[in-house]
Amino acid sequence: MNPNTEQLLTDLTDAFNPFYPLPAGDPQYVDCQEVRGDDNITLDLGRNIQRSKQMTYQYQLYAGHRGAGKSTELLRLEDHLKKQGYFVVYFAADEQDINPEDTEYTDILLACTRHFLEAIKDADPKPLRDWMESRWNDLKDLALSEVSFETLNLEMQISQFAKLTANVRNEPSLRQKIREKVNPYTLTLIDALNEFIVNAKKKLPSKYSKLVVIADNLDRIVPFSKDPGGRSNLDEIFLDRSEQLKALKCHVVYTVPISMVHSNRAADLSNNYSNPPKVLPMIMVRKPSGEVHPPGLAKMKELIEKRVKQVEPHLSLETVFDTAETLEELCLMSGGHVRNLMLMMQEALNKTDNLPITAKAAKRAITNLRDVYRKTAGQNEWSILAQVSLSRRILNDEQHRNLLFSRCILEYRYFDEEENMHSWYDVHPLIKGIPEFNEAVAILQP
């Protein structure tokens, strides 16, 4: 293989990194508002913050399928708010602070505390330092430190919050012990954090006057119920602890799993937070009738084209793909799910020695990802998926919520001619090529 060709294919593969949210202003960004049911994060969440009264804080929830582009949209919100004079503390909670397989409210509070301390270094950390010192005898072993708190310098004292969150995320043997030691004192920690926040607002850089926290990737918390039919871990975090989540003296945006927004707790979420949860739907590549939706398909093509042009401006989609049908097949089989499109593009490129990407390489990429979805759906779920594919609707039960969480069912939105919003659902297109699914459909159809 020509070294130049190999380097081009390597660069293209890297350009389709499925786990890299685009920073605000990135030239690869594609505005998909019109094919996502008119979703606009700067209006939907940003205006609520900007138009709130003095000393009235907005506590908002943001949901959507994992990999749909929430983080990219939240980074746009961060940039927008910064330009409006807000100091924004953004963090992806699952990177350093929480384990999505096992998360409790205490983990989130510790994460918020750590990121405040790291983001606003000019503020007086004394309230939080004093709180840590008062708990040190209980926590020092859990922070994997044997020294006395007084002998630590200021920076080391503050860093103990980071050590705790790292152990919460990475050390299962310490996770529950940390919670047991912190849980009885969460209210005093909130008081200390709020004292820090009040002081921090006075120490912000001159161009900022207000404070916002964006806690991303909490939507990755895996839902489960300790008892069948009982309250879930999500209920305990976002409802039972809602008053604590809303206790911070600043604006906050929390991401929340889409399955909870579609649960019988939806009304409680709307009542407990500043506004009903906002949901980022899929890019609508097909209409509810099953026909291709040209505007949505065009957006998926644009997502590919912009990343290709970033690598090599002279490359065209006609050069990258052997036929227009190969390109369209990848776009349609993604179901309008951005990360799935990126994954299939990477796999197709890995199956390519020389451009263009062939129909065979694209088919391999589609088949590989389809196999993931085949393993994801349980044996008793094929009939549920078949019913959704025929009705374009979901039921409000745990099985449908779990299938939403696993992205076997996707949500779409559009506005009709009278400006009424409609939500509809379909199974992921990849599932429609699985024999078990087709057998279940055949049973339901007359």
Closest CA to 280 of 6, 72, 16: 72
DSSP string, 191-211: HHHHHHHHHHHHSS-TT--EE
Q: CA separation (Å) from 397 to 111, 229, 230, 355, 400?
A: 32, 10, 13, 46, 6
Read off the tokens for 219.
Answer: 């939507």
* Contacts of 138 by beta carbon, 8 Å cutoff, 6+ apart: 181
Tens place of pLDDT per residue across the chain (446 aa): 565 899 999 999 999 999 999 999 999 999 999 999 888 888 889 999 999 887 789 999 999 999 999 999 999 999 999 999 999 999 999 999 999 999 999 999 999 999 999 999 999 999 999 999 999 988 888 776 667 777 777 788 888 899 999 999 999 999 999 999 999 999 999 999 999 999 999 999 989 989 999 999 999 999 988 766 678 899 999 999 999 999 999 999 999 999 999 988 889 999 999 889 999 999 999 999 999 999 999 999 999 999 999 999 999 999 999 999 999 999 999 999 999 999 999 999 999 999 999 999 999 999 999 999 999 999 999 999 999 999 999 998 989 999 999 999 999 999 888 889 999 999 999 999 999 999 999 999 87
State the Cα–Cα distance between residues 438 and 433, nearest whole angstrom.
7
